[in-house]
Structure 1
Amino acid sequence: MGSNEARAAVDAVWRSESARIVGALARYSGDFTFAEDLAQEAVAEALVSWSVNGVPAEPAGWLLTVGRRRAIDSFRRRSAREEKYALLASDLSEEEPGVDTLFNPDSIDDDVLALMFISCHPVLSKESRIALTLRVVGGMGTEEIAKAFFVPVPTIQARITRAKKTLAAAHIPFAVPEAGEIPERLGSVLQVVYLIFTEGSFATTGDSWMRTELASEARRLARVLVRLAPEPEVFGVLALMELTAARFPARLDSAGKPVLLEDQDRRRWDQSAIRRGRAALSTAVGAGRGLGAYGLQASIAECHAVARTAADTDWQRIVILYEALGRLAPSPVIELNRAVAVAMASGPAAGLQLVEALANRGDLDGSHLVPTVRGELLTRLGRFGEAQGALAEALAICSNAAERTALERKIADLAGK
């Protein structure tokens, strides 16, 4: 087997098994940052060994065994200097445990859940949480993560290194939080997963309107989380992502240009994703605890999913849902979305009034979203000169190439009116 084939094999195993491998090593060593380093050393050894000897029958077990051996070596080197490692070293046996011993079925779920909680720990910055989660839970390489977020590879490497140092300095234990801590800590995990999905759905930079591979990774993480922590809001975030992703096939035309929701060919929507999303939302509702912020957003997405046409959409219900969402998780973006819903339910003039108030407060200064929506509503009101000015303002601050092209086309269309 050549080096390229070996790398492909290692990448495939790491992508699917990284969380289990790092989690098992963290459980074994009691040190998350050490475990991630051990796993990376095992990956480096595999690149050499597998290119010569071929892929072993149990590749994940091979990586885990190598990681454990590296841990034993390290414990023994440190035992002369540090008491805690001396205790670990004294209990070591030369006999290696089988794969089943470290990949204990009773421990795997807890290992992966603990890994998600530590990767998304609030002590880390948002950027570090995203990078670390994609790295150790999602199994993405630093080059992949850097490409996905359009930042240099050294920047991603620095974020991951800084995150591990921060966790070590804060003495964050590798463990599933106590039952009373889970609701608060779960919010950080859900935020990270949804941030990854949002960047995939509405790319903030680059040439593409969206990056479906990043959104798919977020959905995969959410499915793992639903299995490990079946809380209503976890089902809510999965429902939101499935129902939103269902529209992906219709969001671009044959030329790759963005298509607004009301103009999309709904026959192209992914009905399987809609069914999965509605099932997840039904589970969240069935818990009887009331919907959280993600569940409410999923309910809004469901209103779109079940409407045969844009005209059939229950816009009044969407307005009510946005009002509830605004009280539960107030944000300028939610207010802007509510303004759009009001415009659809009660006319563009009513929506524009809300947008103008939002613009006057300056809560979204520096974002192209407010002038874009303002331009759309002014166009619907026939105030074409003002609409051009608003869209030109949006164009000046928009960083996504595909969205800039769409804005330029709208401005050109208004020139003749």
Structure 2
Amino acid sequence: MQHIIDRFISYVTIDTESDPNSDTTPSTKKQLDLANLLVKELKTMGMTEVTIDKNGYVMATLESNVKHEVPTIGFVSHYDTTPDFTGANVKPQIVKNYDGGDIVLNKKQNIILSPSYFKDLLQYKGQTLITTDGTTLLGADDKAGITEIMSAMEYLIQHPEIKHGKIRVGFTPDEEIGRGAHKFDVEKFGCEWAYTMDGSQIGELEYENFNAAGAKIIFKGKSVHPGYAKGKMINSMLLANQFISKLPKNEIPEKTKGYEGFFHVVGISGSIEETVVELIIRDHSAKKFKERKEFIHELANKFNKKWKKQFGEEILIAEVKDQYYNMKEKVKPVFHIVEIAEKAMKELGIKPLIKPIRGGTDGCQLSYKGLPCPNIFAGGHNFHGKYEYVPVESMVKATEVIVKIAEITAIKK
């Protein structure tokens, strides 16, 4: 267990925050600090075909140790951390034998991780937790996944009595800004299927995710001296406010769960002359997803029709772009890959928690690029903020799941 703790801490203390405003891959050069470290470690432990391409995608192979034909499978995690909260100068704290009470993350700033608010903590009573110091995120998303894949490969190399087929591992940049799979070379990876180790609590197994789109709505206005503005001024900020008020009030992230979709306003900036509203659109149902996008366009048309006479042209422009789709459509035809992961968990005494992802992973995009790719738990909780933590025992179990999947896949039919 200490080996996993040490490996995880060595990864999270490297700042790999990605940048959505950058047009390079990776979006930040500092991500390569970890990528290059992983290349070095993969070679040292005995992996073959270790590569890193010009975009920072790391791949490696564990050769098969059986003579019969076995499907080539893969395991994938991303090494960037979200720009939602700082990942610089991460100072992990280790809480041994967690007693079920409050954890003081930062005494000076009175930042407390409490089970009274984060009830999931209570299921890890008696375990070892790794937390933040309250000033940064932790980076378990997804450096826990990387730790588990690396540890599993190392274990298989050290225990050749465990039979397995050819295994490929892949580590990607920029997943947190939606680009993790964009330049992933599926043909080069060469797998029949793979698993992302990017879920949350122990037992999670996911093969459904949101269909996702982003919308940028530009509102125009006319600025006139406020003392003489009657009938002349058009305030684009107020138009934007009216538009937002027309969105379904109960179809927002904070009021939905499970398969329920939503509209989520993520940004607004403007002046009298021009205001830009950015929102994301999510739904598991392809039909409802299409309807949500159509709703935005229909609402835009109503505004343009209403204001055309006074403004003289379209008063707003609505741009809606698809981001990713529900991997279920690509995984269902090869559903045995989910069943293998479920079997592995059950054999290890882990209760599978099969549920839809209220988001997306590299796996959903990879599935549409020809690599079916369900998602397995990495163990962390409260991603993207200062309350993030991971139970070490969950990382150990995730490592064991990888080994067990490799073992099950290699069983001669």
Q: How does the TM-score come out when normalised to structure 2?
A: 0.25
Q: Which has the higher contact order (CA 8 A, sep 6+)?
A: 2
Task: Write 1 or 2 for the structure with the bigger share of strand.
Answer: 2
More helix by percentage: 1
